[in-house]
Structure 1
Amino acid sequence: MKNKYKSWITGIFLFVGICNGMAQNDSISDFSWSANVDLMSRYVWRGQQYGTGPSIQPALSGTWKNLTIGAWGAYELVASGTQETDFYISHSTGPFTFAIWDYWSYSETGTTDFFDYSENTTSHLLEAQVQVSGNEKLPLSLLGSYFFYGADHSKSIYLELQYAKSIQDAELLLFAGYQAKGNYYAEKAAFVNLGCTFSKPIALTERYSLPLILSLIVNPDRQRVQLVAGIRL
């Protein structure tokens, strides 16, 4: 099993190399790269807070036609808590996006073996996702995700409904996340992630603006409310 997932990860990097070669040749018009860095006051994901300090969150992805391969991370700036490095592959067709995520969390004071994929000891979480997105007339999207292997032995299922709205040069996102099965997010089936995210570019000069991100996040199961702020570079 361990060798199987090593091969899967190796395959991702091989694909990136192949796509890079294609981008330099005939398929350059079909290939694109994306990179950004978020600086957040806290790392909160699906209603769960990870760490106790500000978090730097880099992201890198390459897309060829409808196929995307990427990496994402979250690292505490002033504390030595849990750090995270994730990889994913996704494919879009019509309103549907299918993805496989490999979430790897580790503590700098504990084990840091990325290649440990043994189900009894791994800190990886492998997740299958499907998302269906609406259109401009109905800007709703529904995400379904399933931890099918790794540290969550309860194999949790998470569902999230989102509504996106443009307000002049700002974006508003409303979301409601529900754990339908398992105990990763809560001890029972429950709403764990309710709230909204507001993003707006703040002009610094005539040519440069800095996107501001504000999220109000409510976890009814844990009776916790958080206001998270960040900027995107």
Structure 2
Amino acid sequence: MDAGFFTLNFRPMKLFKSIILAVGMLSVFPFAQAQDSPAQGSLDMHLQVKNMHLWRGYAVTEAPMTGLNVAYINPSKTFKVGVWGGAGFNGDYREFDYYVAYNKGGFKFEVWDIFNFSPGMPTKLFDYDQKTTSHFIDVTLGYQFGKSFPLYLSASTIVYGRDLESIPSSLPGVGPRLGDNRYSTYVHAEYPVCNYNGYDLKLYLGGAFALAGQTQNFYASKSNIVATGFVVSKSLTIGSYTIPVSATALWNPELNSGNIQLAVDLF
């Protein structure tokens, strides 16, 4: 194929629509094949209820919410493809995401298409124009060290979508956005500290910067620590049921804010 022809006709929006279609096909095909053959993999469905939703230093919603995850997992449990949706009890928050994930030997690689269509945000699901879309494509590379030193490190970069330099103040979150892609990157470290009377304690720290060199990034007005705190988790036994529960305390030095999130995994 002529390189010049390819350059002139390449459209990122069409590319990401094709990726979404491919992810959908990957999701459906294994489901159909696995009905009578466990060797083909498994389906997973998971419902979580929270008093609020914290994500990378943000309080995405301060209202109680639910998060539902539906996925296909391959037989070796190294590959997962699925969808995740969140909804606030008071209607102020709505999210619908697609993702693919690969885990092996401590390494993790994930690609998420994150679509927040809460009130005030664009609501067109198939709009991938960077100037107007509510989507952003987030790529994560992480590594989990061994049991003797159980440190987890990751870096997540927004490679496409609503991560441009400028949004008109009169239309926050709506656009048209201006400027170049910032490639905002969030780096994260977490370490389990101890287990006491059935409670697990984990510490974490997260920072953000613009990989393309801009002062502002998706998470902060400048490069800075945007998330630090701890997570306490415990599995509650009620009759024959085991229900994981966790409390996440968050301090954000950049926003000068703090929150605590309670999450209950119903199944």
* Bigger share in strand: 1
Deviation (angstroms), 1:220: 0.9
- In the alignment, is residue 227 of structure 1 matched against residue 260 of structure 2? yes
Please say if 1:49 is aligned against 2:29: no
Which residue in 2 is equivalent to 1:34?
A: 44
Residue number in structure 1 paired with 2:185: 157
Which of 199, 213, 219 is matched with 2:246 structurally? Answer: 213
Kindly indicate whether the alpha-carbon contact (under 8 Å) linking 1:178 and 1:189 is maintained by their aligned counterparts in 2.
Answer: yes
Alignment counterpart, residue 203 of structure 1, candidates 217, 225, 237: 237
In structure 2, distance between residues paired with 1:203 and 1:216: 23
Give 3-state SS (helix, strand or coil) of 2:26's partner.
helix
User: Within 2, Cα distance between the matches of 1:30 and 1:223?
Assistant: 48
**Which of residues 174, 197, 200 in structure 2 aligns to 1:171?**
200
Rg (Cα) greater in structure: 2
Q: In the alignment, does 2:224 pair up with 1:190?
A: yes
Specify which of 51, 58, 79 is matched with residue 67 of structure 1: 79
The answer to which of 139-148 and 223-232 deviates more is 223-232
Aligned residues: 230
CA spacing shift, 1:21–1:166, aligned 2, 3 Å? farther
Using the alignment, how far apart are the partners of 1:23 and 1:166 within structure 2? 39
Unaligned ranges ≥5, structure 2: 1-11, 165-181, 211-215
Q: Is the 8 A contact 2:123 2:134 kept in 1?
A: no
SS at match of 2:183: coil
- Which position in structure 1 is the counterpart of 2:153? 142
Point out the more displaced range, 87-96 or 149-158: 87-96
What's the CA shift for 1:107?
2.4
Q: In the TM superposition, what is the alpha-carbon distance from 1:209 to its structure 2 partner?
A: 3.1
How large is the RMSD of aligned CA atoms in angstroms?
A: 1.8
* AA matched with 2:187: L
Aligned identity (percent) is 24
- Per the TM alignment, residue 204 of structure 1 is displaced from its structure 2 partner at its CA by 2.2
Cα deviation for residue 164 of structure 1 reads 2.5
Cα 1:39/1:17, change in 2 over 3 Å: same
Matches within 5 A, 1:46-125: 46-64=56-74, 65=76, 66-78=78-90, 80-108=91-119, 111-125=122-136
Q: Alpha carbons of 1:94 and 1:211: their partners in 2 closer, same or farther (altered >3 Å)?
A: closer
Distance in 1 (CA, whole Å) between partners of 2:73 and 2:24 is 13
Task: Indicate the SS of the match to 1:9.
Answer: helix
Residue by residue over 1:94-147, the C-alpha shift from the partner in whole angstroms, topping out at 9 and shown as x without a partner, is 221111111001124653111000111111010111001111111111111110
1:111 counterpart letter in structure 2: P
Q: In 2 relative to 1, CA 30–138 (structure 1 residues): closer, same or farther, beyond 3 Å?
A: farther
Q: CA deviation at 1:22?
A: 3.4
1:145-179 deviation digits (Å, cap 9, x = unpaired) = 11010001222011000113562643332210000
How far apart, CA to CA, are the structure 2 residues paired with 1:30 and 1:180? 41
Deviation string 1:76-111 (CA, Å, 9 cap, x unpaired) is: 102x32311111111223221111111001124653
Q: 16-25 or 98-107, which moves further after superposition?
A: 16-25
Deviation at 1:25, TM superposition (A): 5.4
- 1:52·1:81 contact (CA, 8 Å) conserved in 2? no
- Cα distance in 1 for partners of 2:54, 2:101 equals 23
Letter in 2 for 1:200: K
CA distance in structure 1 between the aligned counterparts of 2:15 and 2:218, rounded to whole angstroms: 25
SS at match of 1:106: coil
Which stretches of structure 1, 4 residues or longer, exceed 4 Å deviation after superposition?
Answer: none
